[in-house]
Amino acid sequence: MNEENCESQSGFRAIPSIDSILSLNGITNLFDQFPRLLVKEVVKEVVEEMRKEIKEGIKNDILQEEIISIVKRKLNNSRLKRAINGTGVILHTNLGRAILSKKVTSRVVEILSHYSNLEFDLSTGERGKRTSYVESLLRKLTGAEDSYVVNNNAGAVLLMLSALAKGKEVIVSRGELVEIGGSFRVPEVMSQSGASMIEVGTTNKTRLSDYEKAITSNTTALMKVHTSNYRIVGFTEGVPLKDLVDLAHRYNLAVFEDLGSGLLQDYGIPLLKEEPTIIDSIKSGVDVVSFSGDKLLGGPQCGIILGKKEYLEKIKKHPLARALRVDKISLISLEATLEIYFIGDKVLDELPVLRLLTLKVEDLRKRGEIILDRIGENKKRLSLKEGFSTVGGGSLPTSKIPTILLSIELKSGEGVHNLSQTFRESEPPLVGIVEEERFLIDLRTVLSDEDEELVRILKVAL
Ligand SMILES: *Cc1c(COP(=O)(O)O)cnc(C)c1O
């Protein structure tokens, strides 16, 4: 059978040509928002998929409207855009982790749309260092002697080990061989850096004597990795950082720490008390510590390395330091975020991550009631429920924060996954919690200035 016959028999005639599709109104409207060539490519892809479906007998007719709507959806769903987080996970890695305050983003916009003194010393008129201001902020806030900022914490750990432990042994507890989402694994980073990892202890128990017994003439450091995204509970024992530092320094070794989530201090908030803090690490005498900028620190994606001058100098000279250095967008955001920390207790209101973490249940309930009132007729399907938010982003994995959930009961015959998809594809997208019988929206992570939009989205979808 030749191709032509095949086409007419299986309905290929029903598919309009690519050019005719590209001239349809629904498609030409997209040219304002998306590159024409990209639209064309997506149209081709969609038509190709439809051809296949016809061939396989899944479909026998194709409507122009269907092509337009699939192309639109594909394009709309693929580009980066803001979203409403109804999941209750404050540092949601898939939804962008920490959000920045408007104070921070307005600085970014202002500086990025102009030239700047990124690497220019305004006092001398000579070449300057991009990180000198951020380094002075970090020293003041944390008490560390010196610092360096890179692209993310994975890069920070790699740089720290490459610069300070290549060809040497680093001793780590078997209870701390962490894997972070996106394939960051302590043993693999260690081997990539050229350091040899010496594992000691067991999964649940590691004692100071285990570290001490493993020290050889080739040991250069003891390393502590914060088990940020899991907890080993029950019959457990670990070594406090302070004891590790005392042991290491007795043997003239260094202590490295991958602190992961990067909480500056606990602010007397009970929830945060079980999370190790940057300030405590420095106080304990750690030689080098690294953490993420966009977890509990509440800043942009970056990796921050703090520690003693002698080690930081080596880190800054390593070739990877240049390859991994922080970009200017993150640097501006980090400077502005760190400045917020200097305003004292008000930091809990000004820094979105800490603000969301400490929102009171009574206030969430009040917001929920106002939202329900505004919904109108479809209110019957909605109710407020008590539940728990989580910190997420590999921080405080066992902590649950009481919250208020907006619960949407399903209509008979309605699938929760369809409802969830409708919300995901609303403008802006709303991501919530899917349960068997209902769809839930945690109001803690819905920003208060998004309530209006939430009402609009709910009205349309219900
Ligand atoms: C999150 C985390 C990392 C990775 O940090 P990124 O900034 O995502 O690269 C590494 N180690 C620990 C312990 C972490 O929690």
Tens of pLDDT, residue by residue, the chain (462 residues)? 444 444 444 445 567 889 999 999 999 999 999 999 999 999 999 999 988 988 898 887 778 899 999 999 999 999 999 999 999 999 999 999 999 999 999 999 999 999 999 999 999 999 999 999 999 999 999 999 999 999 999 999 999 999 999 999 999 999 999 888 777 899 999 999 999 999 999 989 999 999 999 999 999 999 999 988 888 888 888 899 999 999 999 999 999 999 999 999 999 888 899 899 999 999 999 999 999 999 999 999 999 999 999 999 999 999 999 999 999 999 999 999 999 999 987 899 999 999 999 999 999 999 999 999 999 887 889 999 999 999 987 778 878 999 999 999 998 888 999 999 999 999 999 999 999 889 999 999 999 999 999 999 999 988
Q: How far is CA 334 from CA 100, 104, 166, 251, 302, in A?
A: 10, 8, 30, 36, 8
Neighbours of 191 (CB within 10 A): 13
The amino acid present at 302, given as its one-letter code, is C
Q: How far apart are CA 220 and CA 216, in angstroms?
A: 9
Looking at the CA of residue 302, tell me the nearest atom of ligand 1. Answer: 7
Burial degree of 52 (CB within 10 A; 0-12, 13-18, 19+): exposed
Residue nearest to atom 14 of ligand 1 (CA): 260
**Under 8 Å CB-to-CB from 208, ≥6 apart: which residues?**
239, 243, 244, 247
Q: How far is the CA of 456 from the centre of ligand 1 (A)?
A: 37
Q: And the tokens for 366?
A: 């009040």
Give the CA distances from residue 407 to residues 184, 302, 432, in Å, rounded to whole numbers and listed in that order.
Answer: 36, 36, 10
Q: Which residues line ligand 1 (CB under 6 A)?
A: 152-154, 178, 180, 184, 225-226, 228, 258, 260-261, 292, 303, 394
Global model pTM greater than 0.85: yes
